[in-house]
Structure 1
Amino acid sequence: MQTPSIITQPFILSPKEGKAIWHMGVLMHFKAVGEDTGGAFWLAEATAAMGAGPPMHVHAHEDELWYVLDGEVSFYVGDDVATVGPGSVVYGPRNVAHTFKVESPTARFLGMATPAGFENFFLESGHPAETLTIPPRPTEPPNVEALAAHLARYGTQIVGPPR
């Protein structure tokens, strides 16, 4: 986890700029990472197909925020469950279990976390995107034990299956 510091260099990215990866069936196009923001936050545009979503998990170090751009996504945050569409915002504070599931044929949303640092989990465990499109569906389920061990290095614990 990075410690936030003063941002010294502004930046501007075009729509196709930024680090793009395929991670567990999701295109994640990072628009800002900790090294860009002095450790303050990271921001990614995510595009995914119906059914995509991570296991239920809890972050010890960061708060997350999602803004839905297109499609419908169900969010499970603590005891709250909501299926939301474009223009909706969902906040997941640290130490609260959460997950999401894409309900429409595809969905596009912004995800961010503060402070930065957790983006490195995605960058380490994903693959460089071959194109700025939804990746092919995984042919095998993820190795949950390996995923849990990698997440633990970032203070994140899997506490249930995807929804």
Structure 2
Amino acid sequence: MTQPRGGTSTPVITTPDDQASIPFLGALLRLRAGSEHTGGTFALLEHTGERGYVSPLHLHRDDEETFLVLEGELRVEVGDDRHQVGPGGLALLPRDLPHGFVVVSPQARFLTLHTPGGFERFVAKAAAHGEPLGPDELTRLAAEFGVEIVGPPLLP
């Protein structure tokens, strides 16, 4: 019998009622699948935010981050490059590459896939501290989870 290479060998089926909703940076995130569901191989989060929902410029030391826009439009900045990403658009951002995003449409809904998983633990811990988090507290918490904040939030 072949043993699985990471991931899970047990199917996971959830409903929206089973999936945690987490306030984060002024938006609502829904944890569609977390590390505990995937044997640590990935985490999948759905973000719903209004115009101006923004991340600080940051990089991930431990995971790649992929954005898939479902509705609305984001501006994703990677280094000196700016990209408009609309419905169906995808941005794959390797680890250790500074990047950020801002919602530029009235509202947006998008997925982020983190490989391997773990980013969702940062989001949950940040939410447990209450909103809004100051920049120093956010930077400290992020560092605990391999996320380095390297600049201020992007301008809308």
Considering the TM-score relative to the shorter chain, is it more than 0.5?
yes
Q: CA deviation at 1:110?
A: 0.5
Instruction: Give the structure 1 partner of residue 148 of structure 2.
Output: 157
Displaced runs of 4 or more, over 4 A: none
Q: Which deviations, in whole Å up to 9, do the C-alpha atoms of 1:23-71 show, x marking residues without a partner?
A: 1111100110000000000001110000011100011110000100000
Gapped regions of structure 2 (runs ≥ 5): none
CA distance in 2, matches of 1:6, 1:160: 34
Relative to the length of structure 2, the TM-score reads 0.89
CA distance in 1, matches of 2:7, 2:103: 36
3-state DSSP of counterpart to 1:5: coil
* Counterpart residue identity of residue 153, structure 1: E
Q: CA deviation at 1:9?
A: 1.4
Instruction: Give the structure 1 partner of residue 20 of structure 2.
Output: 19
Q: CA deviation at 1:15?
A: 4.1
Instruction: Give the structure 2 partner of residue 96 of structure 1.
Output: 97
Q: CA deviation at 1:126?
A: 1.2
**Higher alpha-carbon deviation: 72-81 or 55-64:** 72-81
CA distance in 2, matches of 1:109, 1:79: 23
Gapped regions of structure 1 (runs ≥ 5): 128-137
Change (3 A) 1:67 1:6: closer
Instruction: Give the structure 2 partner of residue 111 of structure 1.
Output: 112
Instruction: Give the structure 1 partner of residue 83 of structure 2.
Output: 82
* Counterpart residue identity of residue 146, structure 2: G
3-state DSSP of counterpart to 1:126: helix
Q: CA deviation at 1:144?
A: 0.8
Greater helix fraction, Structure 1 or Structure 2: 2
Relative to the length of structure 1, the TM-score reads 0.85
Alignment length (residue pairs)? 148
